[in-house]
Amino acid sequence: MRISLYLKYNYLTFLLLLCLTTGCKKYLDEKPRKNLTVPSTLKDLQALLDENNTMNIGQANVSDAGTDDYYLTMEDWNSLENDGDRNSYIWGDELFYNSPNNQWQILYKQVYTANVVLEFVDKVQPGEDMVTRNKIKAAALFLRARAHFTVLMTWAKAYSSNSASNDPGIPLRLLSDFNIPSKRSSIEQCYDQILTDLTTSISIFPVVKEHVMRPSKAAAWALIARVYLNKADYVNSLKAAEESLKLNDNLMDFNTIDSSSTYPIPRFNSEILFSCSGGWRTLYNFTAKIDTVLFRMYEDNDLRKSLFYATNENGTKAFRGSYDGSFDFFLGLATDEIYLIKAECQVRLGNIESGLQTLNQLLVKRYKSGTYINKSGLDKVVALQTIINERRKELLMRDIRWQDIKRLNIDNSLQPITIKRIIGTNTYELKPNDPRYALPIPTVVISLTGISQNPR
């Protein structure tokens, strides 16, 4: 059922993603097939959301390609498959070169699927099984919000309270009708819609144990915490983090993990709240070398130093610590991130010792048994920098570092971050708040929709 429904909707999805959607009359004049089947049961709708090749796999972490967590040699860079891959490393002007199959398309396909479900969920089997109906509706709202938020974090500038109401955000697609033109909403409007979807999902999510490939109330609270953190609303971010941890506060003890495995961190482990994965060619461990400054940040008794990294033949380090248990990158939500959000918010709100205590709860599970020394007695700036450093060490290759650099450079609480690349005799530099922190929207999207391109 899942596969057949996915195929039935593939035609409509194709039209949506080609048009996305202004002025594409030659496509809009083409009528959908008369025998196209629509969902008629709640089971059909759940099957659409369970199509993991759409909703859980292939998400964008293209922004991680621009971070300071890794480097490429000139040989590595030249070996990349195409100019788009090479541009992602040096913050170039185009990544997809008119390819309709790209990360933007993948994320809006998730939005489209969620919209189809939301439009049918109250129409099929009226009066039957409200618990299941609410679960499906909540999941669709979560998935739409998550896809929109990922696009926003990748293709828009960081949130600033001084300019968010005017800064261009992303197209908010709230209906499946591809005849509705796309336009960029403001960053403020985007945050409002994402938070509306998530808070609505919270209000109707049943508290039932689901497989982590499906959204849940704990995952929704976790995503709200991440959204508010990027908005610098630390009061609401802290509240959401605490609500998520009430539902799941599990942390793995890294002392119990077998470091001899190629990819030691087990998939679907107890920390995961929502599972999805993907990748970007520049970042895979057979090419990317871990930044030496980052690697030296780990203390000798920190088990992440061995569990997260393998040593290449030339002595450089390769990342192997994905929570996906493979060379693909975990791009979902997990409790370790939520502990770090909670700790950062506590410190920013002046509860420094509480924040350090929260951080200690995480780190004691990351060090060799009996070797971790609790952190305490730090001033606010040192405590905050410590937590930010731990975010970088813990949340590597999860599509989070790019978000962090953007928000931290806006925030000005800590030393600004400048990223440099050296390719042969050429040096490339990305300074704080550079407009290139909003990635170039695929040219094919600009051509089809007429929306404004991000400045370079």
Whole-angstrom CA distances from 80 to 201, 216, 436 are 41, 38, 21
Where along the chain do its domains lie?
Answer: 2-256+330-449
pLDDT of amino acid 152: 98
Phi first, then psi, for residue 409 (nearest 5°) are -70, -30
275: left (phi over 0), alpha (psi -120 to 50) or beta: beta
20: left (phi over 0), alpha (psi -120 to 50) or beta: left
Cβ contacts of 422 within 8 Å, gap of 6 or more: 428
CB contact at 8 A, 251 and 271: yes
pLDDT of amino acid 209: 81
Ranges of residues in the chain with a pLDDT under 50 are 1-36
Residue 324: name the closest of 367, 274, 365 by CA.
274
81-106 pLDDT, tens digit per residue, is 999 999 999 999 999 998 888 999 99
Query: Is the domain defined by 2-256+330-449 classed in CATH 1.25.40.390?
Result: yes
> Rounded to the nearest 10 degrees, how much is the dihedral formed by the CA atoms of 215, 217, 222, 227?
90
pLDDT of amino acid 31: 38
pLDDT of amino acid 315: 97
